[in-house]
Amino acid sequence: MRLLIPILALALLAPALSAKEELVTLPERDSVQLTIYNSEDLTLVRERRTLTFKEGDNRIQFSWANTLIDPTSVEFQPVGKDARDALEIQDTSYPAESHEMLIWTVTCSKPAGYEVEISYFTSGISWQAEYTGMVSKNDDTADITAYVTVTNNSGEEYENAQVRLVVGVIHLVERIVDLAQPGHGGGRGMPQDRWREMEEEAQGEPAADNGMARPKAIQKAGLSEYYIYTVEGTETIPNRWSKRLRSFQVKGVPLKTVYRLEPAKFGPYFTKVLEFKNDEEHKLGKEPLPDGMIRLYKDVGAGRLAWMGVLQSKYIPKGDEVKINIGPDAECTLKSKRTGYKKKDLAFRYNSIVGWTIVEDHELVVHNFRDIDVEVEIHQSFQGDFDFDSEDKFEKHDASTQKIHFTLKAGQEIKLTYKVTTRYGTNRK
């Protein structure tokens, strides 16, 4: 459909820019390719069209009313040696009467039809990763399906577009959506060679056809600090629609359940954390996992599901750990209390107390009500000048934090105790 622009028009009338009457032809897009970034509201669109050129100067009008195209990014490029030899861009005009139009003057030495490529940045197209995990009954494995969802709010409909998704945080000095506003015209072109090279390098092999349609393969390739996902074939995403495609599916990813009290990472509660690594041992590790929603379901048998929870994951590099906080679990509990509190080593100056030391005893009781063994890790943090002492196997995590990691058998209860001595005032070292 072509009611939405950009319209590429070969202007056939006299070259006076002020002329209002124009007769234009509307060449079809031969192909279009979208490269969508998820860290910024940015998409590189590259479209190819075949235009017929006459000898001498040809005026080519490109307009993009009601879209979110950055006018400073629009580029014109002949495709192929013949076209490059025959065509030369004389200038690019931004007519005063429209903020959403430009006119290239192209000199042709050998009249013929040539393929040209027009590329530009647009905002309004985004993509997001999403994950669905089906966790086994004992929390020991998960079937993980990754999706990418592309949303088109750009104002333009891209039919049969080749779609590439860039994972990574790029640096922009101005937002594309701002550059798309009137007043930002005026030919401050940005070099796109780098993006073009990136994409060409990241081009994936087309997948083999086995007769029946199947979910499209999404090829992943690393490039510099980025990853490019290439969706096999082409996609049509009408304006304001979203489309979700499967990125990969892995069955039986081994999971570890650890109950953790780590306020710095998981909040103030003793929570159940499902853990795996994005590596080969866990049937993953082929690519980093972009940030996105993880929705977890529990397999309750016979293919039926129960809801476990949803959380936003961060970008997970290859080989890195993934820890999914499921929240507190009534089947494994921790109770803590202060069992002793004493002051000692009081120091005075001019009859006023200036230094003292507080000795506190604490007790933690962890109870596993589940019928399987579980791992537990507890972090305890302290402030100031303190000494920590325990007969349990705590170890130093950092200057202010002690931690202990152990396995708790099915039905087992364990009591941990520790003493913390904190020096205040002049007693402080």
Write out the residues near another protein by the rule CB under 8 A. Answer: 1, 3-4, 130, 132, 157, 211-216, 238-246, 293, 295, 297-298, 300, 303-310, 330-331, 333, 337-343, 346, 348, 350-353, 356, 360-361, 367, 369
| Alpha helices per DSSP H over 172-302 | 176-179, 193-202, 263-266
Q: Which residues contact 304 (CB under 8 A, 6 or more apart)?
A: none
Q: Which DSSP symbol is given to 206?
A: P
Q: What are 294's strand-pairing partners?
A: 131, 311
- Closer residue to another protein in complex, CB, 192/412: 412
Strands (E), 195-331: 218-223, 226-231, 235-237, 242-254, 256-261, 271-277, 292-301, 304-313, 321-328
Encoded tokens for 111: 């009249």
Nearest approach, Cβ of 338 to another protein (angstroms)?
5
Q: How far is the CB of 22 from another protein (least distance, A)?
A: 24
Minimal distance, residue 114 CB to another protein, in Å: 30
Of 78 and 292, CB closest to another protein: 292
Q: Nearest 10 degrees: CA dihedral of 207, 212, 218, 219?
A: -10
Nearer to another protein, 23 or 212 (CB): 212
Cβ proximity to another protein: between 32 and 106 the closer is 32
Tokens of 272: 């159940």
CB of 218 to another protein, least distance (A): 11
Shortest separation between residue 154's beta carbon and another protein, angstroms: 12
CB closer to another protein, 173 vs 330: 330
CA distance 108 to 86: 5
Q: Amino acid identity, residue 204?
A: G
197 φ/ψ angles, rounded to the nearest 5 degrees: -60, -45
CB of 352 vs another protein, minimal distance in Å: 5
Would you say 86 or 326 has its CB closer to another protein? 326
